[in-house]
Homo-oligomer: A and B are copies of this chain.
Amino acid sequence: MSLTVVGTMAFDDIETPFGKSDRIIGGSATFIAWAASNFVKPINQVSVVGGDFPQTELDALKARGVALEGVQIKKDEKSFFWSGRYHMDMNTRDTLVTELNVLADFAPHIPDSYQSSEFLILGNLTPQVQLDVIKQMKQRPKLIVMDTMNFWMEVALDDLKKVLKEVDVLLINDSEARQLSGEFSLVKAAKKVLSMGPRYLIIKKGEHGALLFHENHVFFAPALPLEDVFDPTGAGDTFAGGFIGHLAKTRDISFENMKTAIIVGSAMASFCVESSAYSVSAKSRRKTLPAASNSSYSW
């Protein structure tokens, strides 16, 4: 069992109604790898960073069993940078700044040692890069999971639709599902999105849980109600990492096991939003699973 993770490794600036943190480590592949490394090793990371990305963060990932052969380091360039401001509900946000930097001309290269990966997750990234990675895999992975965001629906919809035809599972949030489908009802939206390619669709609703759609079935997974939400950044990627990590560990890609994988992803994400945001490794080191409970939780 091996897992390849593709995505960004980046710096984030986060503002919430309760505080502000400057240039913390973020990126879809960073969060996914941290979360998934609780379940499987090795994790084959594919990404690109600038010379400004701290070696300590790379070392910390390596210590978790994350292979970095597929991570390009462009010494004279700057890492991808994103800045956002969360609204009072801590569930919606505005993007303030997006600086592509090294991401602008990123051409991923899949090392030979990654080729046998049974599981592939395409974190939020340019659809063209996501498609490029799929094409470089000599043998199609057993399961391809993909995340994306509204930004790509606006600037690269045609490319995005090409990737959708190649993946098994799409992970998006409720507003993205509405935007991609043009439907307000999430049930109608799901039907349209499933007709675009993926056999499974997971709609993330933050504190309201997540929905898994497949053929004519739907599963509604609750989220752990939290007393304090400190920083939701990376929650979706942590969810994705827990989801694919559980599937890769159990090597069972049935609908039934995906239900469990969503519960695992939700539990991981609950730790992510509660933790302090000063560094992703500090956040992620705390991400161990709580005692199993299918029905109720204690405060």
Whether B297 lies near A185 (C-beta < 8 A) is no
A138 within 8 A of partner (CB): no
Task: Tell which of B208, B295, B297 touches A209, judged by Cβ atoms closer than 8 Å.
Answer: B208
CB closest residue in chain B, given A228:
B185
Whether B219 lies near A296 (C-beta < 8 A) is yes
A35 within 8 A of partner (CB): no
CB distance from A126 to the nearest CB of B (A): 31
Q: Chain B residues near A88: list those with CB within 8 A.
A: 184
CA distance A223 to B188 in the complex (A): 16
CB distance from A80 to the nearest CB of B (A): 32
Interface residues of A in 265-281 (CB under 8 A from B): none
CA distance A184 to B88 in the complex (A): 9
Whether A216 lies near B185 (C-beta < 8 A) is no
CB closest residue in chain B, given A88:
B184
- The quantity of this chain's copies bound in the complex is 2
Whether A227 lies near B259 (C-beta < 8 A) is no
CA distance A217 to B298 in the complex (A): 5
Whether A218 lies near B187 (C-beta < 8 A) is no
CB distance from A165 to the nearest CB of B (A): 23
Whether B229 lies near A185 (C-beta < 8 A) is yes
Task: Tell which of B208, B219, B299 touches A208, judged by Cβ atoms closer than 8 Å.
Answer: B208
Q: Chain B residues near A209: list those with CB within 8 A.
A: 208-209, 220, 222
Whether B219 lies near A299 (C-beta < 8 A) is no
**Residue contacts A-B, CB under 8 angstroms, 13 given:** A185-B228, A186-B225, A187-B226, A188-B227, A205-B208, A209-B222, A216-B299, A217-B298, A218-B225, A218-B299, A220-B225, A221-B222, A259-B296
Since A188-B227, A219-B296, A220-B225 are in contact, a sample of 17 more A-B pairs with Cβ atoms closer than 8 Å, ordered by chain A residue number, is: A88-B184, A185-B228, A186-B225, A187-B226, A187-B227, A205-B208, A208-B208, A208-B209, A209-B220, A209-B222, A216-B299, A217-B296, A217-B297, A218-B225, A218-B297, A220-B223, A259-B296
